[in-house]
Chain A
């Protein structure tokens, strides 16, 4: 029930937004994330963006995984 999926904002009109998930468009409310911008990824839950995804953090987490993987291969 707490499922939330990353969705990319393609258009904003007030608190209504159009978002894209894996190439499929749908509508989302930005009432809970009024600061979201076009191009941002948001966590979409039950029709509302509940938070903005920090893409820089996402990349850093992936870099950590890659680093662990390399270290273990060498180890």
Chain B
């Protein structure tokens, strides 16, 4: 068992699709919160398999995309400081901030390194004792525990040149903000599988209980997603709203207790700015006072400058689920993966990039 190919068996697709057609008797709009789901849905052409009664809308679940320009500008300003090495996930370097990107800062002499893991960033700090390594902490609850673990490791080793710019975001508060806005009318939510692998399925219960919206935690293979759509359709048909886990091999109701403990030991909830949403209370993570010596924001003197947002870019509306990428006048014209205007076209899991690469005949 390799746990990937089994969940892509084409001979099992037909049964799930027929089941969805049987259950999807009512018109419904489901949101897939996670950009990873959006990419899988587009790549495997799953929308085309659904009955006309069902509509899928992508949500704000792309950490790179939701990073606000003001926060991006901080990373870019830090990259211009002498003796600072910026360590970042690859998706971040090409995202345009107010005036430039990390890539442009690198071309201008900044030391920007792409890393796969905070383990690589720690290694950079060990290898460069005369420099400061700043890890750009972008990610949801899936990633935040790995960053917390790196801070605990740096603390244990006495590494005094490792820092984190904490731009982490928490998913349940932004879903609440999205639903409270009343901008989108949803009958179901496909909940993020790997965020839930860490936090469990219980944090989604308020959505089913307070908003009456069915929730299903989904895996990322095509059969996983079809199963989740089927489970949501069945709840809608019965008039129920519960939290169910389709991705049972990776998610439990309580999540990973060790990962949650490490994340909570290092970070505490804080307000955070989201592209398209503005500031959302309790939706970010800042370092707890006892770990503030690792906080890049507090330990460097830098000026990110005034924030400028690109006119005409609909990334914010796409992230809120009120527009789809082809609605944007820049899409495929002024904005392409080669020359992206907004982050939703840069990130490998951005909606605009997914529509660009896989959505040639997309009409829904």
Contacts and interface: CB of A to CB of B under 8 A. Distances in A.
Interface of A: 1-6, 22, 27, 29, 31-35, 41, 43, 45-48, 50-51, 53-55, 57-62, 64-66, 68-73, 75
Interface string B1-27: 111101101011011101100000000
B35 A1 contact: yes
B256 A46 contact: no
A70 B14 CA distance: 10
Contact of A32 (B7, B248, B256): B256
Contacts of B259: 32-33, 50-51
Greatest chain A CB density within 10 A among B6, B120, B153, B258 is at B258
B261 to A, nearest CB: 9
A17 B91 CA distance: 26
30 contacts: A1-B36, A1-B64, A1-B89, A1-B143, A1-B349, A3-B36, A4-B142, A4-B194, A22-B4, A31-B152, A31-B262, A32-B259, A33-B256, A33-B259, A34-B258, A41-B1, A47-B118, A50-B197, A51-B197, A51-B251, A53-B3, A53-B249, A53-B250, A54-B249, A57-B249, A61-B248, A65-B223, A68-B16, A69-B16, A72-B15
B224 to A, nearest CB: 8
B142 A50 contact: yes
Contacts, number: 155
Chain B residues touching A, range: 35 or more
A69 to B, nearest CB: 3
Given A29-B119, A47-B120, A68 B19 contact: yes
B121 to A, nearest CB: 10
Given A31-B262, A32-B149, A2 B16 contact: no
A32 B145 contact: yes
Contacts of A45: 142-143, 146, 194
B60 interface: no
